[in-house]
């Protein structure tokens, strides 16, 4: 929907600029993520997924226990 006084050309230009900026941001986000993964592999400083999932499951179980004890 066009804003008051906005031309179709202005609307399209704004949409294109917004899309280009979004794609640049996404590309940079992915680039940083890949760099972080590579650094973790080189440093061997990562935490195995099963360890992370186990900790999250324990936290969830504890929260459910607290909720059950409160009568929720």
Residue 72 has pLDDT above 80, yes or no: no
Q: 58, 65 in Cβ contact below 8 A?
A: no
Confidence of residue 71 (pLDDT cuts 50, 70, 90): confident
Residue 10 has pLDDT above 90, yes or no: yes
33-61 average pLDDT score: 95
Which pLDDT does position 54 carry in this prediction? 98
Average pLDDT value for the chain: 96
Which pLDDT does position 32 carry in this prediction? 98
Q: 38, 31 in Cβ contact below 8 A?
A: no
At residue 72, the 3 state secondary structure works out as: coil
42-47 average pLDDT score: 92
**Rounded to 5 degrees, what are φ and ψ at 23?**
-65, -35
């Amino acid at each position: 929907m066009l804003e008051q006084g906005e031309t179709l050309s202005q609307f399209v230009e704004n949409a294109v600029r917004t899309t280009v900026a979004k794609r640049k941001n996404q590309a940079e986000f992915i680039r940083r993520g890949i760099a972080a993964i590579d650094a973790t592999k080189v440093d061997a400083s990562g935490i195995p997924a099963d360890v992370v999932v186990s900790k999250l499951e324990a936290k969830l179980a504890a929260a459910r226990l607290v909720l059950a004890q409160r009568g929720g």
